Structure 1
Amino acid sequence: MKVAVIGAGWAGMAAAIAHVQAGRQVTVFEAARTVGGRARAVPGALPDGTPATLDNGQHILIGAYAESLRLMRLVGVDIDTALLRLPLTLQFPDGQGLQLPDLPPPLDALLGIARAKGWGWRDKLALLRTATAWQLRGFRCAPATSVAALCAPLTPRLMTEFIDPLCVSALNTPANQASGQVFLRVLQDSLFSGRGGSNLLLPRADLGALFPEAAARWLQQQGGQVLTGQRIQRLQPLPGGRWQPVVAANGTEEPGAFDHVTLACPSWEASRLVEGLAGTAGLASAARWSATTSALRFEAITTVYAHAPGAHLPLPMLALRNTATHPAQFVFDRGQLDGQHGLLAFVVSASDGDRALIEQQVLQQAAAQLGISALQPVQTVVEKRATFACTPGLQRPGMQVLPGLTACGDYVDGPYPATLEGAVLSGTAVAALA
């Protein structure tokens, strides 16, 4: 069976691997010149002109990302070298916050909460009571419940210093708009999935090297093709249920017919391609899939890279106190991760505003909260459609689009928000539908 995978992001590479392992002949088409999708490396330069390797967004993984870790190992990535494993830590620059010890659950959470700095016993007991109630209910809540409503029994300090940063980092959606059910699933699979499930896994390599570039090499070694700079303009149905991907005008030959196509491109591109099929006789059901997909709303993520000689954080990652004028929720010390000393990455999840204003506010936030006033901006990356807005009761499209046509990505129907793990899980699962 000949399979075309359209998109070489994390979901697409996972799908291609699964198709190859099922004995299929795979060709991956990627519109960009590099693989990785929205989790890829981008070139940059420090203020003195020294080249720097950045990412189009500062991602993290957690220990519960079993499928991501399995695929990395499969394609030859040394996990211990590529990722820095740390206990779950939401520590602020003043030393306050939560840090879990290296113990099996639930002992790690119990001891971590009991030792949390800056939290009173009222805060700690409220969290323990509420978390116990969530567990007794099987980590389920009404579909329409928001994270804010779910966490109503908690104190204002817990909302500000624990729930809000955790919610926005996992779901990239503010707590008053975010799905309580998805949030509970994330908590269940991280804090209660087994020892190490809640660990932070911070990339020591750029996001391209972390998985997609190694996956592309693995696919080519298995006889697959990875074609970059190839944007698919439309899909042409052929007799016998086959498909002809039509490459955007670029002077190259058309790639031939395929028995199956997996759409692993961004949701808006997948919707465009499927919408183009809705007028074809017998394919009217494509319109429903396209309508569901195009109805998704999106949240932005802004990453501000800044540099100062000697800039150093007490930990590789710190939480920041987020306000209207201090928008970043987290900061990463790239010197402790990939050796780019003095380079800090500030993450503004669910960001909304002008790039220049956000950059200016983040530098002011660094001076106020970190005491680093000499930072110079290196590059500010705004991913306007970084993730879908993970709202209560959200209808997400399924993986089966039409006979012989499937879709994968972090946006397809599933229990998780838009994460790297959600993307690769969908990629692995979609191959079973071919």
Structure 2
Amino acid sequence: MFLKWNKKNYSIFFCFILLFFSFLVNIFFFYQLFFSVEQNRVNINYSDNKKNEFSSNLLNQDLNINDSKLFPIYEITREDGIIEQYNLFLSKQLVKRIDNLKGIIFEYKKKPDDLLFRKIDKNNHIVTQYNDNGNKIKEIFYNQDESVINYIYEFNPDKDNDLIKCIYYFSEDLQKYFILEKNQDNENDAFFIKTTYFDNGLIDFILEYNDSNFIKKTFYNRKKPQTKKYIIEEIFSSEDNFFHPIKKTFFQLDGQSIKKIEEFNHIKQNKITTFYLKDGVTKKYIIEEIFSSEDNFFHPIKKTFFQLDGQSIKKIEEFNHIKQNKITTFYLKDGVTKKYIIEEIFSSEDNFFHPIKKTFFQLDGQSIKKIKKINKEKKVKTTIFFLKDGVTKKKVIQEFFSPENNHFLIKKIFFEINGKNIRKIKISNPRQNYKK
């Protein structure tokens, strides 16, 4: 029953032995090759200490710089000392090019072949990223121990080396920073149109530059993040080399509805403030003010109050800072027809406006119905009544008051139809039951 050996059987057995030993040799070869590659990878990194290695947690997590899970690779050291790493299975696929002399690592994509997508500059602590067109799209600058990002440059993906955005960090936790954005239509690389400041990762305020003479500042609510608080627009004056506000927009708590708008005219030195209802659209009232060089303060010259529709005028208050008087015009519901006018004068004794004249109009809003004049010094109030034409006097009532003896005298003058000739005069004192 024993197998009879012949030349054919010996040949088969011998081939089997050769194949087995060849398999063992291949395994040993692959093990040695892969182990040497891993050793080379370790030797490539700067191993002074963990902080000096480019494999910090921040870089690995955010930028994925060191890819330790690549397919097995083999290395070639060129005559100039540059190390090139290739994919083990695709011998023509370049993975990395390492220049230890300059401290630069170039990383390449697999498809398309030899496409540079990242450059690591260890000496200057800079990581540069490229797109599929070979254009530089981002530069990341780190601190000395490569643990914190200092700032980031972003470039136009359609145009190589065209800087469009800069991000600068203030803190190690990357919660405080500001972003500079460049105008892509401007050829000047140093000119930026927008700066956004962040605090605790939330927008603090934004600066926008229309041109070199205009700035727009948008401030956000700290108590209610990501909601606008107010906007200031400023323009540059060559007279004093200073930016002057031309418009301020204040928002309600929702950050969208307008609360009020302040508009400034640097030449006329006036200010117009428009207040809005809760809807942010309907006007409540408007205040016009003028600047006084005497006290460096804005003084109101006109206040316009609107009815509920936000269009029809309810009343207008006009102030004369020099004469220290105030004229208030009240309107009917149509917002056009005058109802009455009150003229007041300011008293420095009590810092208050006191009425000196009131003019009441008829239904047409033009013809005068009556006029009341008040003389505070003489303690006299005069009321003139007019006919429907608004010109012809109907009667005049004068009221005299004496605080010394509590004397209150009323004098009534009645005119003829022509409004000039006196028809009769009545004098009375209601407190003393006196009539004449």
How does the TM-score come out when normalised to structure 1? 0.17
How does the TM-score come out when normalised to structure 2? 0.17
Which structure is richer in relative contact order (CA contacts within 8 A, separation 6 or more)?
1
**Structure 1 or 2: more helix by fraction:** 1
Larger radius of gyration: 2
**Structure 1 or 2: more strand by fraction:** 2
